[in-house]
Structure 1
Amino acid sequence: MFKTLYSRFAIYTITVMILSAIISFLITNVYYHFELKAQNDAKVMQTLQHAKSYKDAKQQNDFEEYMRLLGGLNFQVIVFDESYHESHYGHAFRKNNLSKSAIDQVLAGKDYHGIRSRPFNLFITGFFDNETRNTVGTQFITDNGSYAVFMRPDIGHAFGEFRIFLVVLITLLIMISIALVIWSTYTLVKPVQQLKLATSRMMDSDFETPITVTRRDEIGALQQHFDTMRIKLKQLDNMRQHFVQNVSHEMKTPLTHIHHLLTQLQQERIPSRQSDYIQRIYDETHRLSQLTRQLLLLSELDNDTHLKFEDTVRLDYLIQDILKNEAYMLDQKEHVVVYELKPMTYIGNERLLTQAIENIIRNAIKYTEKYGMIDIQLYDENNDIIISIEDDGPGMTPETMQHIFDRFYKQSSYSDSNGLGLAISRSIIERHHGTIRVASTLDEGTTFTIVLPKT
């Protein structure tokens, strides 16, 4: 029964309506018993006393006719003579349970207040209890003797056709309320059901179908957030597919080369050519090993919960160590390296920072022509540490600069790079809450600027 939010909400609302009606009735009944019952008793007794006074003043001799007239004025009347013979006027009582002691009390001249003294019943309202003990009584004296007259308002007759109107009104009220509850529940649940279908589609990797925002309330905001999440998941899925394709391609290429080289090596008999094939196989395995290490590093950066950034790093020493490690390549291309490194201490992950800066310096060495110049600066500015690496290489186009930090992006399909170095550098710098920028002019050179916040 509660398998859907629609049925749960509708049943809960109807249950609340029913409970509210019951609680309201109980509170009203309690209020009648403690506040209104005595007032009602006094009003009915006052009416009966006025009737008695009117009879005495007008000297009405026909007592039975007078009682019949009183019963016709929307009152229920029961009369007992001194012999306890009873007579009814107006509509009959539902139950005759008046005690003999009450009759004797009235015949003795003492008023009876049955409405006021009626016992409290939580589930029955005394105002509607149509029985003889729920009356008021007083003594009437005529020429024929003394009478005990008991009277209460004829509620059923007083309401008359209004009861039918009230029943129809309440019935229509309940039916319309239930219909409105069902309709409002449907309007509330329908967007949630649409979100459920949308999440089912996304679970099946369908991120194409947009989620329509149909409301301006919290549910509408939820729809908007779900659609934003769908777009981001779509982008993530595209990136994942692109990443898998690139990894497959980058790993397949050296493996294919190795396979062909091994085939040629098996057929080659000249030692010098065999050495050449072995060197080329070594280069391909080195490239494959480097790709694997970079992929592992990317995975480590993407799941950085275990990474620690607590090393005390002398950035000037770190850059000098990188230049020493790259001295062979610098000598091979006869580059001129100019650097000005201000002594700077930074708290971070030394291994990752070395990798990030090393990738950029290696790129500068790789793309700078022979006899070119590389300028490296380390200084502080305001509350930041600035590392600037400038070369006079071929530079980049604006389109290339937009994608230079994307994973597997290559300026040329013939490049021996796997396109991960700068993506790794940016990820590392961002993990240190820093930024990395690039400025380049075609045929003039490129400048990478790393900005790290002082700790």
Structure 2
Amino acid sequence: MFKTLYSRIAIYTVVIMLFSAVASFILSNIYYHIYLKPSNDHKIMTTLQEAKNYQETSDTKNMKAYFKHISELNFQVLTVNQEGHRHFYGDKFRRDNLSKKAVQQVLNHHDYHGIRNHPYQLFVTGFFDNETANTVGTSFNTPQGKIAVFIRPDIGKSFSEFRVFLAILIILLLMISMILIISSTYALIKPISQLKRATNRLMEGDFNTPIAITRKDEFGTLQYRFDQMRLSLKQLDDMRQHFVQNVSHEIKTPLTHIHQLLNRLSTADNEKDRTFYISEIYATTNRLSNLTHALLLLAELDNNEHLEFKDEVQLTEIIRLIIRHEQYTIDAKDLIVMTDIEDVVIQGNYRLLYQAFQNIISNAIKYAEQDGSVDIDIAPSKQNSEVIVCRISDDGPGMSEETKAHLFERFYKGTHSATSNGLGLAIAQMIIQLHGGQVEVESTLGEGSTFIITLSKKL
């Protein structure tokens, strides 16, 4: 019963209505007992006193007819003579609980205020308590002697038609309220049900079905945000599939090549061919090892909560170590590496920064022309001395606008290089961004490329 939001809202609304009705009745009852009961007692006593005065001035002889006439004016009347005989006029009282002490009090010329002194009950309104104790009384002098007269309004006659009207009103109120509650609850739950179905579609992998925005309130905002989430999930799913395809391709290609080399190695007739195949197998397995290392590093960067950036990193030292590591390639291409490096220290992760700069510098060395040059310049920013700017330039073939647009995407290769896995620059950018910096590239076809790295000294 409570498993759906629809039933919960409907039941909560009904409970609130019932609680409000009970609370309103109790508060109204308290108000009646504190403020209305004394006033009601006074008005009825005034009416009884006027009836007594009229009886005395008009010298009425037939008291039964007189009291019957009073009862016809929507009053219930009780008379008690000195012998204790009681006579009722009008509709019967629900209960006759008037004490002999109260009767004797009235016969002794002391007015009785039973309405004003009626005891308070939480769920019983004294105004509707039809009993002889809930009356006002005074003494009358009649030809038959002194009698005590007690009256109260005849609620049954006074409100008989009103009670029918009130009953119809309450029934219609409840029926219309329930219909409106059910309708409004359905209208409220409908967009949530749509989101529930959309969630099920997302769980099943359907990221293509858009979510209709049917309202302009908070639910409409939720629908809009949910649809934006769907688009983001679709983009992530496309990236995941693309990533899996790229990884599969990058692994499958060298494995196939190794398999072919092994077949040729097994049938090689001379030492020269065997040496060549073995060296090719070694180079291919080395590329596989580099790919595995890059994938592990990507996974580490994607889940970077555990990484710490507390090292005091000397960029000068990192650049010199990288140049020394790449010296063989530099010599092989007869490159000139020009450095203009100031001694700067920044806060970060030494291992990751080394990897980022190595990827960018090795990329510049790779694409520099034979007998060309690579320039490395590190200095504080002219606008902010707390910001370090590193420029790494080569005189290579440069890049097209399309290449620059995709340069930092995973597995993107500007050229179909057998030695590249397309992850180096993506890793470098992620590392720099984790350090609060950014990487930009300036390049024109035929004029080389310049990578501009911006880093803050402190995170």
TM-score, normalised relative to structure 1:
0.97
Q: Corresponding residue for 2:419?
A: 416
Q: What pairs with 1:310-329 in structure 2 (closer than 5 Å)?
A: 310-329=310-329
Give the deviation of 1:109 after TM superposition. 2.1
Give the deviation of 1:219 after TM superposition. 2.3
Q: Corresponding residue for 1:115?
A: 115
Q: Corresponding residue for 1:396?
A: 399
User: SS of the residue aligned with 1:428?
Assistant: helix
Give the deviation of 1:376 after TM superposition. 1.0
Unaligned runs of 5+ in 2: none
Give the deviation of 1:309 after TM superposition. 1.1
Partner letter of residue 428 of structure 2?
Answer: S
After TM superposition, the structure 1 stretch with the greater mean CA deviation from structure 2, 323-332 or 74-83, is: 74-83
Q: Corresponding residue for 1:88?
A: 88
Q: Corresponding residue for 1:341?
A: 341
Q: Corresponding residue for 1:295?
A: 295
List per-residue Cα deviations over 1:191-213 (Å, max 9, x = no partner): 22222222222112211112222
Partner letter of residue 188 of structure 1?
Answer: L
Give the deviation of 1:80 after TM superposition. 2.0
Give the deviation of 1:400 after TM superposition. 0.8
Partner letter of residue 395 of structure 1?
Answer: G
d(CA) in 1 for partners of 2:104 and 2:358?
116
After TM superposition, the structure 1 stretch with the greater mean CA deviation from structure 2, 171-180 or 271-280, is: 171-180
d(CA) in 2 for partners of 1:453 and 1:10?
58
Q: Corresponding residue for 2:134?
A: 134
List per-residue Cα deviations over 1:111-155 (Å, max 9, x = no partner): 111112222221111100111111111111122212211100111
d(CA) in 1 for partners of 2:57 and 2:203?
93
Give the deviation of 1:415 after TM superposition. 4.2
TM-score, normalised relative to structure 2:
0.96
d(CA) in 1 for partners of 2:378 and 2:265?
49
Give the deviation of 1:82 after TM superposition. 2.7
Give the deviation of 1:58 after TM superposition. 2.3
After TM superposition, the structure 1 stretch with the greater mean CA deviation from structure 2, 170-179 or 295-304, is: 170-179
1:425 to 428, 440, 446: 428
Q: Corresponding residue for 1:374?
A: 374
d(CA) in 2 for partners of 1:452 and 1:409?
25
Matched, 1:218 2:218: yes
Give the deviation of 1:182 after TM superposition. 1.7
d(CA) in 2 for partners of 1:272 and 1:395?
38
2:389 to 378, 383, 386: 386
Q: Corresponding residue for 1:442?
A: 445
Give the deviation of 1:296 after TM superposition. 0.6
List per-residue Cα deviations over 1:11-42 (Å, max 9, x = no partner): 01110110111111112112222332222111
d(CA) in 2 for partners of 1:296 and 1:84?
108
After TM superposition, the structure 1 stretch with the greater mean CA deviation from structure 2, 59-68 or 10-19, is: 59-68
User: SS of the residue aligned with 2:238?
Assistant: helix
Partner letter of residue 161 of structure 2?
Answer: E
User: SS of the residue aligned with 2:93?
Assistant: coil
User: SS of the residue aligned with 1:134?
Assistant: coil
Matched, 1:159 2:162: no
d(CA) in 1 for partners of 2:228 and 2:54?
85
Q: Corresponding residue for 1:234?
A: 234
Distance 1:410 1:228, change over 3 A: same
Give the deviation of 1:98 after TM superposition. 1.9
Q: What pairs with 1:125-204 in structure 2 (closer than 5 Å)?
A: 125-204=125-204
Q: Corresponding residue for 1:76?
A: 76
After TM superposition, the structure 1 stretch with the greater mean CA deviation from structure 2, 441-450 or 109-118, is: 109-118
d(CA) in 2 for partners of 1:234 and 1:212?
17
Partner letter of residue 443 of structure 1?
Answer: G
Partner letter of residue 448 of structure 1?
Answer: F
Partner letter of residue 257 of structure 1?
Answer: H
Identity of aligned residues (%): 54
Q: Corresponding residue for 1:31?
A: 31
